[in-house]
Every structure is written in C-alpha cells, then in structure tokens.
Amino acid sequence: MNTRYSTIIAPSILSADFSAMGNAVRTIEESGADWVHVDIMDGMFVPNISFGSKMVNDLRPLTKLPLDVHLMIEKPERYIAEFAGAGADFITFHLEAAVHAHRLLDSIKKLGKKAGISIVPSTPAEALSEILELVDIILLMTVNPGFGGQKFIPQCIPKIEKLHRYRIERNLKYDIAVDGGINAETALTVREAGANVLITGSSFFSARDPAEEVLKYKGTYIV
C-alpha cells in the first residue's frame, strides 16, 4: 500500500442531482471529502455532454475545497484559460486529445494551476514516461469515460502499480488519481496498488451516509 501520500477523496458532481448542485457541494464538504471533481464532456471525445466553464464559475463561491476539473474534450488547449479563469484549481486533460502535451502542461502551470494528464483504459502507462516530471496529477480512467455508474476494469491495476513504481524510482511527487467504478471495495484495491486520489460518483451520492462512505474509501471506517 502507498504510505507516502494521504488518501484524497474527490466526489464527482457528474453523479449529483443537476438541479441541486449547491446541495451536492454541501454534501461533499460535510462528508469530509477533500476535492470537488468536475467532469467536462463535449460529446465528441466522449459520448456524452456535461458542463461548461459556467458550472465551475458558479460552484467557485460555494466552497473553499479545490475544484478538480477533468477535461474530457477534444483540443483542450482551446479552453484551458477559460476554466482557469472560472476558478479551477486543478486542470487535467487527456493525453489522447492533445498533440502537444508538454506545451499544454506548461500553459496550465503558467496560469497558476496544478496540471494533470489523464489516460483511458486502452492507453499504456508507458505513454506518459516522457512527461512524468512535468505533471502534478496523473488520472487513470478505470472505466471507458463518458458515463457514470460503470463497472471498474481490473486490468487497469497494473498501470497504477507501474506509475507508482515510476514515482518512487524517479523521486517524483505527482498524485495518482483513479476514476471509474470506485466504491468501498475497489478503493482498497487501488490504494494498495499506489493510487492516492479516489474519484467517486454514484456510490458516493447514493450512499445512505456519505461521511461513512468517505471513511470506507480512506480505509479508516471501523465496523
């Protein structure tokens, strides 16, 4: 298990009631979770449409928690400044959607934001090897992106282990985030593999007690 990093829980508002986003943010804060995860989908890079930068702008006054923005969009370089200006703290884009990843990571950091990069389940961890020194967050999709409530793909676990090994071998400090099918059971699996940021959606917002759910994800819940 990864003992160098504390576990961060980032509920995704994609699974919240869209008519009550203020309530969703309050639920996240009151649960003891750490970040608010915002999935941005354009209907092209993934087969769904979610929010734009206005959602980030509207959420920003409602919470002091970091807003973790995940761009699942084509040509993400077109919108980096827009989401930074709206109040995102962390901006993650997909390696598969950007030709000049190095340049884009640098532009995010120049805007004063933490820079993240994400890969889908079919992309190998080795594809990130040349830019590991540049990233603050690596987000591994453990489902095929586009919809909430999907089943965790266990074949992604070796990628988590590999990126954790790279982190130790190269003495790097990036966070390893996982998104897709995260619940109390899979949380233990990915934490043991080396992930330290757990993005959860439907299992969090459907939980009887979200605070109890967060404790389970962190491995601190006592029956």
Give domain status of residue 158, yes or no: yes
In degrees and rounded to multiples of 5, residue 118 shows phi and psi of -125, 150
Is the pTM for the entire model greater than 0.85? yes
Using alpha carbons only, what angle is made at residue 131 by residues 178 and 157, rounded to the nearest 5 degrees? Answer: 30
Q: pLDDT band at residue 147, thresholds of 50, 70 and 90?
A: low
CA distance 37 to 69: 6
Please state, rounded to an integer, the average pLDDT across all residues of the chain: 93
Give domain status of residue 223, yes or no: no
CA distance 35 to 122: 27
Give domain status of residue 89, yes or no: yes
Counting the structural domains of the chain, the total is 1
User: Which residues are catalytically annotated?
Assistant: 39, 179
Other C-beta atoms closer than 10 Å to the C-beta of 222 total 4
Over residues 29-47, mean pLDDT = 96
Q: pLDDT band at residue 150, thresholds of 50, 70 and 90?
A: confident
Q: pLDDT band at residue 4, thresholds of 50, 70 and 90?
A: low
Report the run of H or E that residue 163 belongs to, with start and end. Answer: helix 157-169
CATH classification at residue 103: 3.20.20.70
SS3 content of the chain, % helix, strand, coil (to 5): 45, 20, 35
Report the run of H or E that residue 82 belongs to, with start and end. Answer: helix 80-86
- Identify the pLDDT of residue 149: 66
Give domain status of residue 3, yes or no: no
- Identify the pLDDT of residue 148: 66
Q: How far is CA 21 from CA 58, 115, 129, 197, in A?
A: 9, 25, 37, 22
Give domain status of residue 113, yes or no: yes
Domain containing residue 156: 8-218
Other C-beta atoms closer than 10 Å to the C-beta of 1 total 9
CA distance 184 to 187: 5
**Is the separation of the CB atoms in 177 and 137 below 8 Å?**
yes
Classify 68 in phi/psi space as left (phi over 0), alpha (psi -120 to 50) or beta.
beta
CA distance 98 to 179: 20
Give domain status of residue 204, yes or no: yes
Q: Does pLDDT of 220 surpass 90?
A: no
Give domain status of residue 121, yes or no: yes
pLDDT tens digits, one per residue of 108-127: 999 999 999 999 999 999 99
**Is the separation of the CB atoms in 119 and 72 below 8 Å?**
no
Residue 127, classed as helix, strand or coil, is: helix
Strands 67-72 and 137-141: unpaired
DSSP string, 1-25: ---SS--EEEEBGGGS-GGGHHHHH
Give domain status of residue 1, yes or no: no
